[in-house]
């Protein structure tokens, strides 16, 4: 007994010298395999940043010692070799960054990047997967899991190239994974507009899951390292050949550049949360509030338990953040700086195309036509939703009801089946919700919460979108 006590005292001293408590040391030694799922849920050149984010994440995890057999990558894979890419076969996530595309596994690409495959990968349900490599999250009870997802989103949803991932479906999958007893602990990082709404009031404690999100449930997230050519950025621009695209997302770049430089053996998830929250909110006119959900006791875990460990030397140097143009105003992008609201990145890209086209050319005419078309579509969906609210709740109350935000800790909607059905109803009459239009899912959720019957919703939507 005396020898055992002496051993624990010596072990405690050694662990403290190494910067870790004895409890952390014992926990680390019992950790099994590290598993990772990386998801970029968009496509199209103007969404460059999402696939660059995921490729950067892969590289830092690979350098941390994780094996390809334990890293599962979802990305449409239409960016690196896109005809608009000035550096064919290369992706960068930082103005001074190296190529992050080379060597990235292409487990699920193109149309195989979808919600069903994502869920079946998490649940290790190989028979439910269509296409792709067939790689699944075949974890065991002592294994840790890290999931990183970056994309457009909206209240209670994140996007896929086709279709949506609804918050209640995601939570249901995570609960099933926990019930299967096939992991020890899980960390989930989510980059999307209103990303907090995917977990707020929905993720129960006790699943051994720790989550951070790029924004609050009612807040947009931001692209970064964006610019419109020489002199357009206040601090750090992408190379001029990348006009009109953002190289990364603000929250995503913050956690990855932090992971690149920190000692992951001693830095905890909570340490990282504090730093990325400060960086992401440094300019709240062009930034967001990073949020935490789930089992907070996991936040004392060292990063290496999920991301592996690597030398503190790095190639993706962190850069300071700067301000950006006001959303919704195409003209303001002509004096753009660095951060761009994710909802406005398509407008940002099209404005760049228009600005860069030779004056009086067919290219300028076509860029102007497309820009005006997108602005018109944005105005149309805004007006349709406004009209829908007026038809259902009256002119005075319509906007108030649709814009209402529930208190923190309360889920977006009471009846998720209603929300899914009414989103389909709206899109059937008013057209598919774009990355910009997805912000109106909150209004549709509030229609469900108000108890509007299906027949009334169909009639009002048809009327609102026909005028």
Catalytic residues: 152, 193
Rounded to whole angstroms, how far apart are CA atoms 57 and 303?
13
**Which positions ≥6 away from 425 have C-beta within 8 Å?**
454, 457, 458, 461
**Whole-Å CA distances, 271 to 31, 276, 298:** 20, 9, 12
Give the DSSP per-residue string, 15-56.
Answer: HHHTT--HHHHHHHHT---EEEEEEE---SGGGHHHHHHHHH
Check if the beta carbon of residue 421 is closer than 8 Å to that of residue 451: no
CB atoms within 10 A of CB 199: 24
CB atoms within 10 A of CB 162: 10
**Which positions ≥6 away from 286 have C-beta within 8 Å?**
222, 321, 322, 323, 324, 338, 339, 341
Check if the beta carbon of residue 113 is closer than 8 Å to that of residue 38: no
What b/e readout covers 230-240, taking b as 16+ CB neighbours within 10 angstroms? eebbeebbbee
Largest separation between any pair of C-alpha atoms in the chain: 88
**Whole-Å CA distances, 2 to 15, 22, 51:** 20, 18, 56
Give the DSSP per-residue string, 61-104.
Answer: HHHTT--GGGEEEE----STT-TT-SSTT---SSTTPPP--TT-
Strands (E), 260-305: 291-294
Check if the beta carbon of residue 318 is closer than 8 Å to that of residue 257: yes
H helix or E strand, kind and range, residue 223: strand 222-226
Nearest to 132 by CA among 195, 73, 65, 220: 73
Rounded to whole angstroms, how far apart are CA atoms 174 and 167?
11
């Amino acid at each position: 007994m005396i020898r055992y006590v002496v051993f624990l005292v010596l072990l405690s001293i050694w662990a403290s010298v190494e910067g870790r408590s004895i409890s952390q040391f014992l926990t680390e030694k019992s950790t099994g395999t590290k598993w990772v799922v990386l998801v970029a849920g968009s496509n199209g050149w103007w969404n460059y940043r999402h696939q660059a984010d995921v490729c950067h994440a892969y590289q830092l995890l690979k350098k941390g010692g994780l094996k390809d057999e334990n890293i599962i990558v979802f990305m449409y894979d239409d960016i690196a070799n896109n005809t608009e890419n000035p550096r064919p076969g290369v992706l960068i996530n930082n103005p001074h960054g190296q190529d992050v595309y080379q060597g990235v596994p292409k487990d699920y690409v193109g149309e195989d990047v979808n919600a069903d495959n994502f869920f079946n990968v998490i649940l290790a349900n190989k028979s439910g997967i269509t296409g792709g490599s067939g790689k699944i999250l075949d974890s065991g009870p002592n294994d840790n899991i890290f999931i990183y997802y970056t994309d457009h989103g909206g209240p209670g949803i994140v996007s896929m190239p086709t279709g949506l991932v609804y918050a209640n479906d995601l939570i249901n999958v995570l609960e099933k994974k926990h019930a299967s007893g096939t992991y020890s602990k899980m960390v989930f990082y989510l980059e999307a507009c209103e990303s907090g709404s995917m977990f707020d009031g929905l993720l129960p404690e006790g699943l051994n899951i720790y989550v951070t999100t790029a924004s609050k449930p009612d807040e947009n997230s931001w692209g970064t390292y964006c610019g419109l050519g020489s002199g357009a950025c206040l601090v750090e621009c992408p190379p001029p050949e990348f006009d009109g695209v953002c190289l990364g997302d603000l929250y995503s770049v913050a956690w990855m550049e932090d992971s690149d430089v920190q000692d992951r053996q001693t830095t905890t998830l909570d340490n990282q949360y504090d730093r990325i929250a400060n960086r992401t909110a440094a300019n709240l006119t062009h930034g967001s509030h990073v949020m935490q959900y789930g089992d907070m006791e996991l936040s004392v875990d060292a990063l290496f338990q999920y991301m592996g460990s690597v030398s503190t030397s790095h190639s993706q140097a962190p850069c300071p953040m700067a301000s950006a143009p006001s959303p919704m105003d195409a003209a303001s992008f002509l004096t753009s700086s660095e951060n761009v609201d994710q909802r406005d990145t398509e407008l940002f890209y099209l404005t760049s195309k228009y600005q860069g086209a030779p004056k009086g050319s067919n290219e300028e005419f076509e860029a102007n036509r497309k820009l005006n078309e997108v602005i018109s579509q944005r105005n149309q969906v805004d007006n349709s939703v406004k009209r829908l609210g007026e038809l259902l709740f009256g002119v005075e109350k319509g906007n108030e009801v649709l814009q209402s935000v529930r208190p923190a800790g309360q889920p977006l909607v009471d009846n998720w089946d209603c929300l899914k059905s009414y989103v389909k109803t709206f899109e059937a009459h008013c057209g598919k919700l774009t990355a910009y239009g997805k912000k109106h899912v909150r209004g549709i959720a509030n229609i469900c919460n108000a108890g509007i019957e299906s027949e009334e919703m169909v009639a009002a939507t048809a009327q609102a979108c026909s005028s």
